[in-house]
Chain A
Amino acid sequence: MRQLTRARQLLLATAAFIATAVSADNVDLSYCTVCHGAHGNGNPAIRAPKISAMEPWYLRRQLEAFRDGVRGTHPDDAAGQEMQPVGIRLRDEAAIDAAIAYVSSFTPKAPPITVTGDSARGRALYATCASCHGPKGEGNQTLGAPALADRSDWYLVTQLRNYKAGLRGSDHRDTAGAQMRALAATLPDPQAIDDVVAYINTLRESR
Chain B
Amino acid sequence: MNQGLSRRGFLQMVGAFGGSAAVYQAALGMGLLPAVAHASRPDIAPLTGKRRKKVVILGAGIAGLTAAYELRQKGYDVQIIEASHRAGGRNLTLRGGDLIDECGYPQTCRFDRDPDLYFNAGPARIPGHHSALLGYCKELGVPLAPFINDNRSALVQDDAMFGGRPIRNREYITDTRGFIAELLAKSLKPEQLSAQFTGADYTRLLEYVRQFGELDARFTYTGSGRAGFARHDYTGPETLKQPLPIAELMKSRFMYLMSFGELDDQSAMMMEPVGGMDRIVAGFMAKVGDCVRTHAQVETVRLTGNGVEVVFRHKGERTLLTADYCLNSIPLQLLAGIEHNFPAEYADGFTAVQRGKLFKIGLQMKERFWEREGIYGGISWTMQDITQLWYPAHGIHRQKGVILGAYTFDDETGEKFSRLAPAQRIELAIQQGEKLHPGYRSYVESGVTIPWHRMNHMLGCSARWDDSVRAQWFKRLQAPLGTHYLIGDQLSYHSGWQEGAIHSAFHAIADIDRREREQAARVVAA
- A binding-site residues for B, Cβ under 8 Å: 3-4, 7-8, 10-11, 13-15, 17-22, 26, 28, 30-31, 33-39, 41-46, 48, 75, 78, 81-89, 109
Contacts and interface: CB of A to CB of B under 8 A. Distances in A.
B108 interface: yes
Contacts of A31: 103-104, 456
Nearest to A89: B104
B438 to A, nearest CB: 18
A147 B419 CA distance: 30
Contact of A8 (B339, B424, B457): B424
A42 B338 CA distance: 9
Contacts, number: 144
Interface string B327-345: 0000011101111000000
Contacts of A7: 420, 424, 427-428, 431
Given A7-B427, A38-B339, A44-B351, A19 B107 contact: yes
Given A41-B339, A43-B337, A19 B110 contact: yes
A85 B448 CA distance: 17
Given A22-B99, A46-B333, A34 B457 contact: yes
Interface in B408-450: 415-416, 418-424, 426-428, 430-431, 444-449
Nearest to A18: B423
Nearest to B444: A17
A87 B418 CA distance: 16
30 contacts: A4-B420, A8-B420, A10-B427, A11-B421, A11-B423, A13-B427, A14-B426, A14-B430, A17-B445, A17-B446, A18-B422, A18-B426, A18-B447, A22-B107, A30-B83, A31-B456, A33-B313, A34-B297, A35-B103, A35-B337, A36-B337, A38-B300, A45-B334, A46-B333, A75-B419, A78-B415, A78-B419, A83-B104, A85-B105, A109-B339
Contacts of B446: 17-19
Contacts of B103: 31, 34-35, 82, 85-86
Nearest to A30: B297
Given A7-B427, A30-B83, A34-B103, A19 B337 contact: no
Interface residues of B, number: 51
A46 B337 contact: yes
Contacts of B418: 82
B299 interface: yes
B454 interface: yes
Contacts of B338: 37-38
Contact of B339 (A4, A39, A44): A39
Contacts of A34: 83, 103, 297, 334, 456-457, 459
A200 to B, nearest CB: 22
Which 10 A-B pairs rank lowest in CB-CB distance, beginning with the nearest?
A: A37-B337, A85-B104, A43-B337, A45-B336, A19-B107, A22-B106, A18-B423, A38-B299, A86-B104, A45-B333
A45 B334 CA distance: 8
A88 to B, nearest CB: 7
B254 interface: no
Contacts of A38: 298-300, 337-339
Contacts of B415: 78
A43 B300 CA distance: 14
B337 A48 contact: yes
A71 B98 CA distance: 31
Nearest to B110: A19
Contact of A19 (B109, B334, B355): B109
Interface string B384-415: 00000000000000000000000000000001
Contacts of A26: 106
